[in-house]
Amino acid sequence: MGINRRNFIKLAGITAAVGVGGKKIMGELVDDTTGLPVVDTAQKASPLKAKRWAMVIDLKKCREKQGCTACINACHAVHNVPDLGNPKDEVKWIWKEDFEGAFPSADHKYLEEEIRNSHALVFCNHCDNPPCVRVCPTQATWRRKADGIVMMDMHRCIGCRYCVVACPYGSRSFNWRDPKPFIKEINPDYPTRMRGVVEKCNFCEERLDRGKMPACVEACPEKALVFGDLEDADSEVRKLLREHYTIRRKPSLGTNPEIYYIV
């Protein structure tokens, strides 16, 4: 079980190659909007599976490439996330948060300036004990038992925003208005949203099913984002967790977030 390692390496290889740059690599087309390799949907890939998906983010690598937004661009393009242009109505799945906002308890006045002034990549933590799931009155959001992904059913959401209130990480966005006019280029492979529903990162479950890594992971030129099975002792994420000191966001709240940061 766990993720197919050979597949993983193959995909990681493609990612790296794409990151470095050319438009055509290994005979694959690259989508102009997303910057990701186009995979023929007819050609069926076996889904990536895990018992517990998790991610390790190497913020050192992020700091080396300040101003890089490859992961954000890729994610938002793939998922038709609108750019509303104002912070009040903003919808975002993944973004850069200042260090203090992301890790309030790790911050202090004399912290290494490089870290203190840096930004951390944040998105849904896919908590093991998600407060958003607990409060949802319609089960429009739930934690998938098979692989731990916190899912969102935008068909069922009534837009009460209780989950937005309950999330300690600010990871959820509400569609205060119709997002469609604010999507630069619509990706026809993924739906858009209607006004009045909540959305968030879904760990690219639709891509995993088609044998693809999450868009952010694939897009990162530095391979700073590593995605894998936490339950598999040989997985890349477990290897990184063994070898580095890692922190998580607000672990004291007991939500058990599954995004780990190498600072």
In the complex with another protein, the residue whose CB is nearer, 27 or 85, is 85
State how far the Cα of 126 lies from the Cα of 134, in Å rounded to an integer.
Answer: 13
In the complex with another protein, the residue whose CB is nearer, 158 or 233, is 158
Shortest gap between Cβ of 15 and another protein (angstroms)? Answer: 23
In the complex with another protein, the residue whose CB is nearer, 163 or 213, is 163
Shortest gap between Cβ of 202 and another protein (angstroms)? Answer: 10
DSSP string covering 50-79, please?
-SSEEEEEEHHHHHHTTT--HHHHHHHHHT
Shortest gap between Cβ of 211 and another protein (angstroms)? Answer: 12
Q: What are the residues whose beta carbons fall under 8 Å from the beta carbon of 170, sequence distance 6 or more?
A: none
Shortest gap between Cβ of 21 and another protein (angstroms)? Answer: 29
Q: Give residues in contact with another protein (CB under 8 A).
A: 41, 87-90, 97, 100-102, 104, 131, 133-140, 142, 144, 146, 151, 153-162, 164-170, 173-178, 186, 188-189, 191-198, 205, 209, 250, 253-255
State how far the Cα of 102 lies from the Cα of 261, in Å rounded to an integer.
Answer: 11
State how far the Cα of 77 lies from the Cα of 72, in Å rounded to an integer.
Answer: 8
The one-character DSSP state at 94 is E
- Amino acid of residue 112: E
Shortest gap between Cβ of 36 and another protein (angstroms)? Answer: 17
Contact, 95 vs 258, CB < 8 A? no
Token digits for 53? 């998906």
In the complex with another protein, the residue whose CB is nearer, 79 or 225, is 79
In the complex with another protein, the residue whose CB is nearer, 139 or 245, is 139
Shortest gap between Cβ of 4 and another protein (angstroms)? Answer: 17
State how far the Cα of 100 lies from the Cα of 116, in Å rounded to an integer.
Answer: 7
In the complex with another protein, the residue whose CB is nearer, 37 or 131, is 131
